[in-house]
Amino acid sequence: MDATILGLLVADGITNGVIYGLLAITLVLVFTVTRVLFVPMGELLMYAPLTYALLVDHKLPGSLWLGAVLLAAWGVLDLLAGARRISLVLFAGAAALLGAGAWAATTGFPILAWVLAVGVVVLMGIATYRLFFEPIPHASVLTYLILSLGLHFVFQGLGLVFFGPEQYRLPPLLPGEAQLGPVPLPRQNFAVYGLALLWVLLLYGFFSRSLYGKALLACAINRRGARLTGIRIRDAGRVAFTLAGLICALGGMLLAPLTNAAYFMGFLPSLKGFVAAVLGGLVSYPLAAAGAILVGTLEAFSAFYASAYKEAIVFALLLPILFVQSLRTLEIGGVEE
């Protein structure tokens, strides 16, 4: 192995690790606040680039219809609960989403399609929490996990129906290659690094400076104590799922130009993001990010030496680490209220 190949493998590992890190941070954020292991985050990662691909191809994707249906169902729940004004806003939002989608599909304007693709995934994230998890606030972690797995299969199946089995190649945000010493790297890699760094800084500022961020941290540390101090667990969950949808959407839009966007593209990254989150004990953001870089690096070198077995090697090498970490992990109760 010469220096060029070594550099390529390290760069590939870091790039994949950054994507897994975004997913791991998403999983830790959602789990600590709501106790939900958000398995469908891989599907949210997939919906954004495929929605964009169809919009710029002058087609109205089914994901926009799904987003509108989720918003309308949310409106019906609020209407039944007596929140008439909010329900009317949600119904109007569903209609506006379809109208904006029809306009974007007609024009095929890339920036409009990009914003709409990210926006619909964010809406799907918060609507998923409102419709499926918020009505059962006292359920156990196992119940949430079973529900989350069901949503994973539903969203993946709908992805196949909406987008078909074809794979799409998205244009990179930063086209071309850059020479880093002897190693040629796609400039899109630097877009991934930049977004990850920006997102970490924004999250740090959000959690340390904003009232909503401190409320989320309080819920993550002690939900009962947070509720006793006046923090609404429901609102904290909605903020967590909104951030999760945003991270997944942006991660998918950055990952798709490096691979091919397809309905199955989110499964393996989300699984490796889950492994990284477990390495962080499902409570630590820095450890989850470090675990993601480890997973990405192991995957890159395994693909070079034994590509046919790279997935098995990655997960087999992580098993002893997961075992040791599980003995040290702070136990988080399923029901605290």
Dmax over CA atoms of the chain, in Å, equals 68
What does the alpha-carbon distance between residue 25 and residue 4 come to, in Å, rounded to a whole number? 31
Nearest partner of 291 among 271, 277, 311, judged by Cα: 277
Please, what is the average pLDDT of the chain? 84
Query: What's the pLDDT score for residue 335?
Result: 45
109-147, pLDDT tens digit by residue? 888 999 999 999 999 999 999 999 988 888 888 899 899
- Tell me how far apart the alpha carbons of residues 215 and 267 are, in angstroms, rounded to a whole number: 31
In the numeric block, which tokens belong to residue 300?
A: 């890159």
The answer to whether 289 touches 281, Cβ cutoff 8 Å, is no
CA torsion, points 128, 134, 139, 144, in degrees to nearest 10? Answer: 10
Higher pLDDT residue, 5 or 127?
A: 127
What's the number of CA atoms in the CB half-sphere (13 Å) around residue 335? 8
CA angle 136-220-86, nearest 5°?
A: 50
**Which pTM does this prediction carry?**
0.84
Q: Tell me which residue has tokens 């995957």.
A: 299
Q: Which residue has the tokens 């992805």?
A: 159
The pLDDT tens digits of the residues spanning 238-293 come to 888 998 889 888 888 888 888 888 888 888 888 888 888 877 777 778 888 888 88
What CA–CA distances, in Å, run from 93 to 61, 70, 110, 142, 207?
A: 17, 11, 22, 33, 29
Q: What is the pLDDT of residues 141-195, one digit of tens each?
A: 889 989 999 999 999 899 999 988 888 888 887 777 777 777 777 788 888 888 8
What residue has token string 């069901």? 150
Q: Return the ∠ at Cα 67 (arms to 62 and 70), rounded to 5°.
A: 125
Using DSSP's 3-state secondary structure scheme, residue 137 falls into coil
